[in-house]
Chain A
Amino acid sequence: MTTVDQAGSWPAGARAAAGDAVTDVATDVVGDAAPAVPGEGATPGTRGRRPSRLLGIRTEVPASWRIGFGVIGVLAILALWFWSSQGDSALIATPSESWSAFTQMVGDGTFQTDLWASAQRVLIGYGISMVIGIVLGIATGTFAAVDAFFEPMIGFLRYIPAPALIPLFLLLLGIDESPKIWLIVVGTAFYNVLMTADVARAVPREMINASYTLGAGRWRILRRVILPHSVPGIIDVARINLAAAWSMLVVAELLAAQSGLGYQLIRSQRFRAIDAMFAILIAFGVIGLLSDVLLRQVRNRVAPWSRP
């Protein structure tokens, strides 16, 4: 409404206020009155601020630019790496050294073994964490009583740094697989719960009310409305917190493990195999990137309705 108002009254007011200045310039050109009438001699100017092509707030840039920027970003970090590996210091492996270390690890099969050992832990631990996150998160986001029960508890627990539990876990659970898996669970479950609760809270009230007036009971609404509506959000939560799961895994493997990529890292450090260390670090990034892309695909496949 204000735009209509402005369109109607602004030009007149602005013209009156700026009248002198306008006539000064315009008379030179036309040599007569009626300077502000558009299309009558006076060269039309421009109105408004031209939007920035490159850094417009929340405006898309062309797809080719997007790809270009992405490539530049990757090249920049590679260049930085390459440049810093050129110095005297032997502590930074060059890209080519890292690549050959990688191919060697793949060649003798250690990479696959360690990757599988780590992935297994993440899959189990993060799987458990997601189940906890979905069940408790949906319940927390749906029922105020459950929310009241968990809120202070989780608020307290999630500030205990998960790695601080490793000594306890090692005592309680031994040094085989379970302490690593439970560290992943503990390190990610609280965030999965809290974030899934927000996803469940985002189900519009009117959608729930509509379901009630269609005769649905609470259980039905939970299963048939809140859960399906939350699916894409839950997949996004899983995608975001997966990085934390890998962090927890590596912490556990650095401290106590006989296999896994984290264990391989600490071994490389012991043997000063800097190139292998770099290969593993980059492998982490690539694994994360791939799972991110994969989960986005899953989200779009499972919930095409939520795509913008």
Chain B
Amino acid sequence: MVPPVSATGTDPTPTLADVLRPGTPKLVVDDVTKVFAGRKQTTTALEHVDLHVDQGELVCLLGASGCGKSTLLSIVAGLETATEGMVTVDGDRVVGPGADRGMVFQAYSLFPWKSVARNIAFGLETAGWPKARRQERVDELLGIMGLTTFADALPKELSGGMRQRVAIARALAPEPDMLLLDEPFGALDAETKRHMQDFLLSLWHRTGTTILMVTHDIEEAIYLSQRIYVLAARPGRVAAEIAIPFGGARGPNTKRDPRFLDLRDELADLLAT
């Protein structure tokens, strides 16, 4: 059974992501509330958050600092437990972390004692891939990421952008169903960031992985995602859900599209309130 191709299929060659996109929700966040009980005060980081991400979709969570984006992503990853509500993936309730939901963290989380190749191989070793296949997969990812010549380098010998590529490669290596990205390009300069965004898009087209990405960069969110959830702060909640009308095709012209500019203003207003 092949689901109908999306109506916004401006992309002449439907990719796997396009084909898989409509219909089936991959991830459902159902009425999630998260309260942190501190010594002096309790913080409601998230209140009654409802959202979903479809199979093969790329969705961004957009919101100001402190509105609970990382908290939400951690709950989806299973690293934090929701105070109320639940998260399901393919209908299964998330009770803890697992290799099906790869995650790239806000700050660098590479293993500093492992080479680039060994970092990427970590998830494959855990999953018990045989050595030959492991090597093949690592080489493949090194090629995709443009890191082949740095296979034996230590993380401290890499630039910020390269480290983030290693982190993404490491998360992708065991072929997770879903990729959770927490401001993966937040610490990069504008040029590297743009490069990494296009890189992420091509990766998404190629693999069809479902992606939920956190950002506080409005343009990045519009440029990358199929849909955007805007989160409002104190308590963190979904303020708006915005569909992005560009289909899978993005390029330098996207950012000059009048609809892009309108969306940017609309989102800026939403974030300002």
| A206 to B122 Cα, complex, angstroms | 15
| A213-B122 contact, Cβ under 8 Å, with A228-B113, A229-B113, A303-B113 | no
A215 to B107, Cβ gap below 8 A? no
B105 to A206, Cβ gap below 8 A? yes
Interface string of B169-191 (1 = CB under 8 A from A): 01100100000100000000000
Q: How far is the CB of B163 from chain A (nearest CB, A)?
A: 12
Q: Decide yes or no whether B97 CB sits under 8 A from chain A.
A: yes
B126 to A220, Cβ gap below 8 A? yes
Chain B contact patch, size range: 20 to 34
| A17 to B163 Cα, complex, angstroms | 49
| A58 to B108 Cα, complex, angstroms | 26
Q: Decide yes or no whether B237 CB sits under 8 A from chain A.
A: no
Q: Decide yes or no whether A103 CB sits under 8 A from chain B.
A: no
Number of A interface residues in the complex (CB < 8 A): 21
B113 to A213, Cβ gap below 8 A? no
A209 to B154, Cβ gap below 8 A? no
The residue that A213 contacts in the complex, of B103, B112, B155, with Cβ under 8 A, is: B103
Q: How far is the CB of A129 from chain B (nearest CB, A)?
A: 25
Q: List 19 A-B contacts (CB under 8 A).
A: A204-B109, A206-B107, A207-B111, A209-B109, A210-B105, A212-B77, A212-B78, A213-B98, A214-B99, A214-B170, A215-B98, A215-B99, A216-B126, A224-B122, A304-B154, A305-B113, A305-B154, A305-B156, A306-B112
| A212 to B126 Cα, complex, angstroms | 10
* List of A residues within 8 angstroms of B96 by Cβ: 212
B123 to A215, Cβ gap below 8 A? yes
Shortest beta-carbon contacts, A-B, top 8: A215-B99, A214-B123, A212-B97, A210-B109, A213-B103, A206-B109, A215-B126, A305-B113
Q: Decide yes or no whether A241 CB sits under 8 A from chain B.
A: no
* List of B residues within 8 angstroms of A304 by Cβ: 154
Q: Decide yes or no whether A23 CB sits under 8 A from chain B.
A: no
Give the A-B pair count, Cβ closer than 8 A.
72
* List of B residues within 8 angstroms of A303 by Cβ: 113
A207 to B109, Cβ gap below 8 A? yes
User: Which residues of chain A (220-277) have a CB below 8 Å from chain B?
Assistant: 220, 224-225, 228-229, 231
Q: How far is the CB of B97 from chain A (nearest CB, A)?
A: 4
Q: Decide yes or no whether B63 CB sits under 8 A from chain A.
A: no
Q: How far is the CB of B77 from chain A (nearest CB, A)?
A: 6
| A101 to B104 Cα, complex, angstroms | 65
Query: Which residues of A line the B interface, CB within 8 A?
Result: 204, 206-207, 209-216, 220, 224-225, 228-229, 231, 303-306
| A207 to B111 Cα, complex, angstroms | 7
| A229 to B103 Cα, complex, angstroms | 20
A213 to B79, Cβ gap below 8 A? yes
B173 to A, closest residue via Cβ? A214
B107 to A, closest residue via Cβ? A206
* List of A residues within 8 angstroms of B126 by Cβ: 214-216, 220
A204 to B, closest residue via Cβ? B109
A214 to B102, Cβ gap below 8 A? yes
Q: How far is the CB of A156 from chain B (nearest CB, A)?
A: 26
| A213 to B123 Cα, complex, angstroms | 9
Known: A213-B79, A229-B113. 17 other contacts (CB 8 A): A204-B107, A204-B109, A207-B109, A209-B77, A211-B122, A212-B78, A212-B96, A213-B98, A213-B102, A214-B170, A215-B174, A220-B126, A224-B122, A225-B111, A229-B111, A305-B154, A306-B113
| A228 to B98 Cα, complex, angstroms | 22
| A304 to B156 Cα, complex, angstroms | 11
| A306 to B156 Cα, complex, angstroms | 9
* List of B residues within 8 angstroms of A209 by Cβ: 74, 77, 79, 97, 103, 105, 109
B79 to A, closest residue via Cβ? A209
Q: Decide yes or no whether B1 CB sits under 8 A from chain A.
A: no
A214 to B111, Cβ gap below 8 A? no
| A211 to B171 Cα, complex, angstroms | 10
A302 to B, closest residue via Cβ? B113
* List of A residues within 8 angstroms of B107 by Cβ: 204, 206
* List of A residues within 8 angstroms of B99 by Cβ: 213-215
Q: How far is the CB of B241 from chain A (nearest CB, A)?
A: 26
* List of A residues within 8 angstroms of B109 by Cβ: 204, 206-207, 209-210
* List of A residues within 8 angstroms of B103 by Cβ: 209-210, 213
Q: How far is the CB of B65 from chain A (nearest CB, A)?
A: 15
The residue that B79 contacts in the complex, of A212, A225, A229, with Cβ under 8 A, is: A212
